[in-house]
Chains A and B, each alone.
Chain A
Amino acid sequence: MSEARTHIFQRLRAVPRPEVDTTGRDYVPIYDWDRAERIKRFTERMQAVRAEVHHSDRDSWLNLLADLCKAKGLTNLLVSPHTEWGQAIYQQVGEFPTLQDYDRAIEAWKHEMFYNIDASLTSTVGGIAETGSLILWPTEQEPRIMSLVPPVHFAILDTQHLYTTFAEAMQEQDWLNQGMPTNALLISGPSKSADIAQVLAYGVHGPKELVVILI
């Protein structure tokens, strides 16, 4: 154990520490939103920060995605063939720009990832209506960089997993007992900054566009 650690703990332990009354610490639900209301709120919040939100369903999302890829002039799309959504996309390969799987460690194709990938598509583990946020738990199939480096990020959200608040999402999905992943993320719009004279600019370091497809 380091000396610094010992000294810090000695000082902290030397102090009488009265217990704090923790009344009011726990989450109290304040909204009574049904699914339609949650979708409406989520959409409003996302659009307020210039994210695109498309309301779709299991029958039509593939066509919608194909149209969006065409409209944006994408030449390739980074998408895993191993997710529910990815499988469907790979089955209609002709409808889409060149599909690319994140099938190697980043070191093997970093340059291509940084400079050649136009867009990515990932699944999400849920959404939050109150703040307009997507919840992502990157996996081996859909690693962390997928939602970070490509200039356009498509995310699919099954509205069954659209929660009212972050606290509810955490509770309902039992994050504590599941164990936290290497990286868990909330994403609430495309990357932005107001560091230059408080003027809002989008696409600073992360994706310039966030496109959410609600199923």
Chain B
Amino acid sequence: MAKPSEFRIQVDQALGKTEVRAHFRKAMDTLMTNRRNQFPDNAELQRLRDQAQVIRANALSKLPELLEQLESNLTRNGIHVHWAETTDEANDIVLKIMQKHNATWMIKGKSMVSEEMGLNHFLESKGIEALESDLGEFIIQLDGETPSHIIMPAIHKSKEQIAQLFNEKFPDIPYTEDVDTLTRTARDILREKFYNAPVGLSGVNFAVAETGTLCLVENEGNGRMSTTIPPVHIAVTGIEKVVEKLSDIPPLLSILPRSATGQPITTYFNMISSPRKKGEKDGPEEVHLVLLDNGRSRIYSDPELLATLRCIRCGACINHCPVYVRIGGHSYGTVYPGPIGTILEPQKSGLKVHGELVQASSLCGACGEVCPVRIPIPSIINRLRYEGVRQDGGSALDAGSKRKPLEAITWKAWSWAASHPSVYNLGSTVATQVRNLVPHNLGAWTSVRTAPAVADKTLHQQLKALGVDHE
């Protein structure tokens, strides 16, 4: 038997952690209930989804023009714009800015694109510390972990584990499991860091081309701190995050937090259009935006896969996924887990690396139904399964790499038999006669199930006995 893949091993391990599984179940149930409560009127929800979909689809249809407009407006406003085709290039841009300011460390607001870049790790290798300030990110960074959810990074950790971790890392502070006290501890530690930080880094939720404005959605205030207190602010984002008009923002802001955590709005919505102007008394003197491609422009070239780029990173598909809740975020072994990760990661890193993820779906359709911008995630999963085994090229990276000769021949034979009735009837009749020869052990399938039994009469025979004339 073939060696199980890394993904299978991780899934196996995750399924064994009963306590963590129960914790995820409870958390996802709460998130689903919260979201449902935010949309009491289904018609209004559907109207808002239509609106959000149109806004994102329109922006993508004009992407090069809008990126140019964004760049020119940001530049006019005094924000430096940088372009990166790969994560290596993006990391280098950040490093150069750090070096220019002789900065030995930075404080970070939450940014999934920086996770995509592996920025912390990269900077560390250059002797630069990147300190996470989002409470969840701060916690997992203390423990040397990566996020298990895109909006609730430490969702896999219990209160007790966090209390233990704080006690280990900050032995001077008395042990407590009180969430308010733990939160205050983090606040005090990070306040001092914000006070001293030479550079702050953040992500971007939406970038408005029309005005040259970077929008950030957050609850804690660490996003505002990271973008207001240090003298230099670096924002990193994917090239797909741009929208055309300022008036596109309210509908997106309305549907994002409601879909994500089931809040009507987050505590802070932060719109940044320039560095500190003459006469202003605070804010960074220098603001940079790094626009990262990293495979997005390839996704862009396929009219069906393009819908992947509509994503506003709310995480609703993750919260509603029956696979995610059972295997958790870390099993995916990717930056983005859950359904969105399932379609995004194989397209970015290639089907060879992450193609197996598209099998991690029951195609129940929940992800597509809750998506605020109506990304047809199940269809894209199907499409990527096809891309993996197709013979004739294809537009996804590593298309055809999942094709197995035996599987291909089997399906070909099946399709030939199914379109030749005499062969099909002969085959099914023979199958009923040798039904007792089906082995009990069918490898992985029978490790937790009994082997399937072939019926003693074919469907044709049974229908005939019932007097149904199939002609």
Contact = CB atoms under 8 A, between A and B. Distances in A.
A52 to B, nearest CB: 15
Given A23-B54, A203-B183, A204-B187, A4 B220 contact: no
B250 A197 contact: no
B44 to A, nearest CB: 7
Contacts of B210: 176
A2 B71 CA distance: 13
A199 B264 contact: no
Interface residues of A, number: 78
B326 interface: no
B304 interface: no
Contacts of A86: none
A71 interface: no
Contacts of A186: 265, 268-269
Interface stretch (A32-40, A90-98, A100-108, A118-126): A100-108
A20 B273 CA distance: 28
Contacts of A140: 279-281
A45 B47 CA distance: 23
B195 A197 contact: no
Contacts, number: 238
Contact of A190 (B228, B267, B270, B280): B267
Nearest to B264: A131
Interface residues of B, number: 93
Given A25-B58, A193-B135, A206-B224, A181 B273 contact: yes
Nearest to B139: A195
Given A15-B301, A170-B247, A205 B133 contact: yes
Contact of A22 (B58, B83, B250): B58
Interface in B42-72: 44, 47, 50-51, 54-55, 57-58, 60-64, 67-68
B313 interface: no
A176 B190 CA distance: 36
Interface stretch (B98-106, B112-120, B156-164, B334-342): B156-164
A167 B152 CA distance: 28
Nearest to A210: B267
A88 B413 CA distance: 88
Interface stretch (B292-300, B345-353, B357-365, B456-464): B292-300
Interface in B266-292: 266-277, 279-283, 291
Contacts of A194: 152, 219, 261
B300 A145 contact: no
Contact of B154 (A12, A14, A195): A195
Contacts of B274: 182
A148 interface: yes
Given A166-B254, A167-B251, A193 B219 contact: yes
A183 B64 CA distance: 26
Contacts of A181: 273
B153 interface: yes
B22 interface: no
Interface in B172-199: 179-180, 182-184, 186-187, 190-191, 194-195
Given A2-B82, A4-B85, A191 B220 contact: yes
A144 interface: yes
Interface in B120-143: 133-136, 139
Given A11-B298, A20-B58, A45-B264, A183 B270 contact: yes
Nearest to B59: A20
Interface of B: 27, 30, 44, 47, 50-51, 54-55, 57-58, 60-64, 67-68, 82-85, 89, 133-136, 139, 152-155, 157-159, 162, 179-180, 182-184, 186-187, 190-191, 194-195, 210-213, 219-222, 224-225, 228-229, 239, 246-251, 253-254, 261, 264-277, 279-283, 291, 293, 297-298, 300-301
Given A11-B301, A191-B267, A204-B187, 16 more contacts: A8-B297, A12-B64, A131-B264, A143-B282, A143-B283, A175-B246, A180-B212, A180-B213, A182-B274, A192-B220, A195-B135, A196-B179, A197-B162, A198-B155, A204-B183, A207-B221
The 10 closest A-B pairs by CB, nearest first: A206-B221, A195-B136, A205-B221, A186-B269, A11-B297, A5-B83, A131-B265, A167-B250, A195-B135, A204-B220
